């Protein structure tokens, strides 16, 4: 079996695993453990690109989780105005996605600001991570539109994005894990060839 097939199977298995768990606390913990593993791999093998990408992903995940899981952003009660709550929640997630896109677009400059290592280079994966957050941003824009149509105009049967929102999030987390693991596999494979 080729490495590509193994990675694809891993990503699909992670999405299925996340959907089955369907608990943001456990998924966050698992995601952070994958990021920690990747960071440690990068630190042990003196690969600052992997370390910095893992840290950036962890920073974004912790920031997002802290805002929503700790109650800093109120997810609403039964009698609240869902138009306002949905706009705040999906709008804030969109802002986090925009921040993440900018973070990964300027990843090299940020990495060089914090480290003087000559190994900090543009990897083949740098161009992929920001696309994951662009995709998440598109989902958040669609969620904002759907929320407005459903709660402002009374189109209560329009719930496609709302019903599948977590699945999109799980898929993006799984793809992120898949990209990081691919980076690790290719580093190990390239080291064996040299």
3-state secondary structure 69-96: HCCCCCCCCCCCCHHHHHHHHHHHHHHH
Give me the pLDDT at residue 79, please: 65
Both tokens of 30, joined, read 């698992």
> What percent of the chain stands above pLDDT 70?
95
Tens of pLDDT, residues 117-147? 888 888 888 888 999 999 999 999 999 999 9
Give me the pLDDT at residue 10, please: 80
Q: How confident is the model at residue 19 (pLDDT cuts 50, 70, 90)?
A: confident
Give me the pLDDT at residue 192, please: 65
pLDDT score of 194 more than 60: no
The helix/strand/coil state of 98 is: helix
Give me the pLDDT at residue 193, please: 57
The rounded distance, in Å, linking the Cα atoms of 86 and 76 is: 9
Give me the pLDDT at residue 52, please: 94
Q: What is the pTM of this model?
A: 0.89
Q: Are 187 and 13 in contact (CB under 8 A)?
A: no
The rounded distance, in Å, linking the Cα atoms of 194 and 190 is: 6
The rounded distance, in Å, linking the Cα atoms of 110 and 106 is: 6
Both tokens of 68, joined, read 């929503």
DSSP string, 99-153: HHHHHHHTHHHHHHHH---TT----TTHHHHHHHHHHHHHHHHHHHHHHHHHHHS
Q: Are 41 and 184 in contact (CB under 8 A)?
A: yes
Rg of the chain over all Cα atoms, to the nearest angstrom: 18
Q: Rounded mean pLDDT of 169-187?
A: 88
Tens of pLDDT, residues 66-115? 988 887 777 666 667 888 888 999 999 999 999 999 999 999 999 999 88
pLDDT, averaged across the chain: 88
Q: How confident is the model at residue 20 (pLDDT cuts 50, 70, 90)?
A: confident
pLDDT score of 29 more than 90: yes
């Amino acid at each position: 079996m080729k490495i590509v097939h193994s990675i694809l199977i891993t990503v699909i298995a992670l999405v299925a695993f996340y959907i089955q768990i369907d608990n943001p606390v456990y998924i966050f913990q698992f995601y952070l453990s994958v990021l920690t593993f990747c960071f440690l791999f990068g630190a042990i093998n003196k690969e600052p690109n992997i370390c910095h990408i893992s840290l950036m992903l962890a920073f974004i995940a912790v920031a997002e989780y802290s805002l929503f899981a700790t109650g800093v952003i109120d997810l609403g009660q039964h009698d609240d105005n869902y138009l306002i709550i949905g706009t705040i929640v999906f709008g804030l997630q969109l802002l986090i996605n925009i921040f993440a896109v900018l973070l990964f677009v300027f990843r090299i400059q940020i990495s060089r600001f914090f480290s003087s290592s000559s190994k900090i280079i543009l990897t083949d994966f740098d161009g992929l991570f920001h696309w994951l957050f662009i995709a998440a941003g598109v989902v958040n824009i669609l969620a904002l539109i759907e929320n407005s149509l459903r709660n402002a105009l009374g189109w209560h049967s329009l719930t496609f994005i709302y019903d599948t929102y977590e699945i999109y999030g799980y898929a993006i987390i799984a793809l992120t894990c898949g990209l990081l693991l691919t980076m690790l596999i290719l580093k190990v494979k390239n080291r064996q060839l040299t």
